[in-house]
Amino acid sequence: MEYLTLFISAVVVNNFVLTRFLGLCIFFGVSKNLNASIGMGMAVTSVMTLSSMLAWVVYHFVLAPFHLQFLTTVVFVLLIASFVQLLETIIKKQAPALYNMWGIYLLLIATNCVVLAVPLLNAESNYTFLMSVVSSIGSGLGFALAIVLMASLREKLRLADVPKPLEGLGIAFILAGMLALAFLGFSGMISL
């Protein structure tokens, strides 16, 4: 039950994009195209889950026992960046088909705020291993949900008549604002 609450809270109530403003660069950059955003959502979810597992192990078996918590930021950044690089190399060799689909997104998220934020938040909240896995999967799916919704909205927007200065980024922000407003309806559903 506890895990279910954590999961739902990560997906909709505390949606990373729409209530915590993380991962906006990819969110606005990739959401022009629906297929690309589905790929991106999947890539972010898997990288986030794997890297937060890795980060949990490092935090609880290396950083915490030696009281090196002040190094968390440095260690996590390097850990995640090198892990993503490694993942890219492995996928390229072992599963070229998968690489063709996702490869380009992997490098984009190597140093992305949302991928770094989840392990940091998990470490901060002192989650157990299982809890941090559940919360990372939830956060990843929440990101995927937001980006897919946004991409479908933006595809419709192509036919709309937008005032010239608002074209591009401006209208995208306003759309995101509307989405955030809609997601506000979920707040209060679960309080953690």
Partner 1 sequence: MKNLWKIYKKGLIEENPIFVLALSLCPALAVTSSVINALTMGLSVMFVITMNNTVVSITRKFINPKVRVPVYITSIATIVTLVQLLLQAFAPALYKALGIYLALIVVFAIILARAEVFASKNKVIPSFFDGLGMGSGFTLAMVSVGAIRELLGAGSLLGFKVLGAWYNPALIMILPAGGFILIGYMVAGFKMWTDHMAKVKLERGEA
Interaction pattern, residues 89-108, with partner 1; x per rule: CB under 8 A: --------------------
Taking the least distance from each CB to partner 1, the nearer of 95 and 162 is 162
Decide: is 77 part of the binding site for partner 1 (CB under 8 A).
yes
Residue selected from 21, 33, 126, 128 as contacting partner 1 according to rule CB under 8 A: 21
Residues 145-164 close enough to bind partner 1 by CB under 8 A: 163
Taking the least distance from each CB to partner 1, the nearer of 115 and 133 is 115
Give the Cα separation of 133 and 174 in Å (integer): 33
Helix-then-strand count for the chain, H and E: 9, 0
Give the Cα separation of 135 and 190 in Å (integer): 14
Decide: is 138 part of the binding site for partner 1 (CB under 8 A).
no
Taking the least distance from each CB to partner 1, the nearer of 94 and 163 is 163
Decide: is 144 part of the binding site for partner 1 (CB under 8 A).
no
- Residues shown for the chain: 192
Decide: is 18 part of the binding site for partner 1 (CB under 8 A).
yes
- Tell me the CA distances in angstroms from 173 to 9, 50, 116, one per residue in order: 24, 30, 23
125: which residues sit within 8 A by CB, 6+ positions away?
Answer: none
The residue whose two tokens read 């559903």 is: 189
Decide: is 62 part of the binding site for partner 1 (CB under 8 A).
no
Planar angle of CA 10, 16, 22, nearest 5 degrees: 155
Q: Is the backbone of residue 186 left (phi > 0), alpha (psi -120 to 50) or beta?
A: alpha
Residue selected from 57, 62, 73, 152 as contacting partner 1 according to rule CB under 8 A: 73
Residue selected from 11, 30, 146, 172 as contacting partner 1 according to rule CB under 8 A: 172
The candidate with the shortest Cα–Cα distance to 27, out of 15, 40, 39, is: 40
Q: Which stretch binds partner 1 (CB under 8 A): 44-52, 59-67, 70-78, 138-146?
A: 70-78
Decide: is 165 part of the binding site for partner 1 (CB under 8 A).
yes
Please, what is the minimum distance in Å from the beta carbon of residue 97 to partner 1? 28
